Amino acid sequence: MTSQTKISDGYSTVLPAEIRKKLDLTPGDILQWDIDNNSIIITPRKKVALLDICGYISVGGDAVVDKKRIQSGE
């Protein structure tokens, strides 16, 4: 599937409807942007609820390290 969008004056763009529907993306979901050899790789991540992350944070651990680990999908 190939889609095109235009970057607006405010550097925004629209996520094409067919991609949103195919990947079941909704407001609040996160798009992670990476660059690989002059190509943009966009990876969707679903928003998570508190119950989804219970047990991810270690007691007495480093909250910043834990947050980065969770955000990277580890």
Question: What is the full DSSP assignment across 9-49?
Answer: TTS-----HHHHHHTT--TT-EEEEEEETTEEEEEEE----
Residue-wise burial string across 59-74, b where 16 or more C-beta atoms lie within 10 A, e elsewhere: eeeeeeeeeeeeeeee
Residue 4 lies in a domain: no
Q: What's the domain range around 27? A: 17-71
Count how many domains the chain has: 1
Residue 8 lies in a domain: no
Residue 67 lies in a domain: yes
pLDDT in tens, 2-48: 889 999 999 999 999 999 999 999 888 889 999 999 999 999 987 77
Q: pTM higher than 0.75, yes or no?
A: no
What number of residues does the chain have?
74
Rounded Cα–Cα distance for residues 54 and 38 (Å):
37
